[in-house]
Structure 1
Amino acid sequence: MKVLSIMQPWAMLIVLGVKQFETRSWSTKHRGQLAIHSSKKIDKFACRQEPICSLLAKHGYTAKNLPIGVILATSHLSDCIKVILDTGASARLDDGRLVTGIEYYFGNFSEGRLAWEIQHIKKLDKYVPAKGQLGLWNHTITTPHPAEHP
């Protein structure tokens, strides 16, 4: 499975379902399954900012207990869309959508960057330790078949 390493708290915000786009300076042709890996770095400044601090706290997280160096979830990368306009308060994507509010705050939507649309997030019952890498990388993730869950 393809894996993307993301610094905390951004990785956890995706896993919690409050961050739909991961912004990158580079594109990918990959579409489909994508695992979310939390890198070993934590942006502690971001963790102290609102609404990030409150969103993490609501789920029992702080900068001190965010999981790092593990694969947190599986998801579906549905699109990689170029940012064509950044007003400083919102961003227009190449497909016509407008990104506003906390979604805009949670990314770097500078013109020319790419918004990776991540959907269907499934948090793993047990996080998978992994070193992580730059770019997209491969990892074998075994998840129980739905019939195996109690």
Structure 2
Amino acid sequence: MKTITIHQPWATLIALGEKKFETRSWATNYRGELAIHAGKKIDKKICQTEPFRTILAMYGYHVDNLPTGTIVAICRLEACYSVLRTPNEKALLENGTLNTLHRYPIEKQEMAFGDYTDGRFAWELGDVRRLPNPVPAKGRQGFWNWEPSS
């Protein structure tokens, strides 16, 4: 199964269904099942800021109990959008061709959970299923393959 390693707290926010888009500097044509791997790095400073602190606390998480080095969720990578910043500094997600261009605004909480700089990409994650027991795995950069045990 294709897998992506994401630093904490972002991996847990995806697993909880609170983060709907993963922002990256690169686009992908891949669509389908995707495992979310929580890397070993935790951004402790961001965990203490809002809305991170409140959202994590709602689920019983804080900087000291975030899972690391584990697969925390399975989801579907449904779409990849280009990020466009408007003159009023709002971020829009854009996909399609000139004939069928679609633009979607980003909500405030989602903006806090990603890097929506002009020219980046937002991967839409759907059908997120948090694993009740995270599975230990060694992460890698980019997409990598993970073989879930039956």
- Show structure 1 runs of 5+ residues with no match: 144-150
Partner of 1:146: none
TM-score by length of 2: 0.90
Tell me by how many angstroms 1:142 deviates: 3.2
SS in 2 for 1:97: strand
In 2, the alpha carbon distance for the partners of 1:16 and 1:59 equals 8
The Cα RMSD (Å) is 1.4
Q: Structure 1 residue 141 and structure 2 residue 125: aligned?
A: no
- Compare 38-47 and 82-91 and name the one that shifted more: 82-91
Matches of residues 82-97 of structure 1 in structure 2 within 5 Å?
82-85=82-85, 90-94=90-94, 95-97=102-104
Tell me by how many angstroms 1:89 deviates: 5.3
Q: Structure 1 residue 72 and structure 2 residue 72: aligned?
A: yes
C-alpha distance 16-86 of structure 1, shift in aligned 2 (>3 A): farther
1:61-84 Cα deviation digits (max 9, x unpaired): 111110000000100000111112
In 2, the alpha carbon distance for the partners of 1:86 and 1:41 equals 32
- Show structure 2 runs of 5+ residues with no match: 95-101
Tell me by how many angstroms 1:124 deviates: 1.2
Partner of 1:9: 9
TM-score by length of 1: 0.90
Q: How many residues align?
A: 143
Question: Partner letter of residue 29 of structure 1?
Answer: N
1:13-44 Cα deviation digits (max 9, x unpaired): 11111110010001111100000000000000
Q: Structure 1 residue 18 and structure 2 residue 25: aligned?
A: no
Tell me by how many angstroms 1:103 deviates: 0.5
Which of 88, 109, 117 is the aligned partner of 1:102? 109
Partner of 1:54: 54
Tell me by how many angstroms 1:87 deviates: 5.7
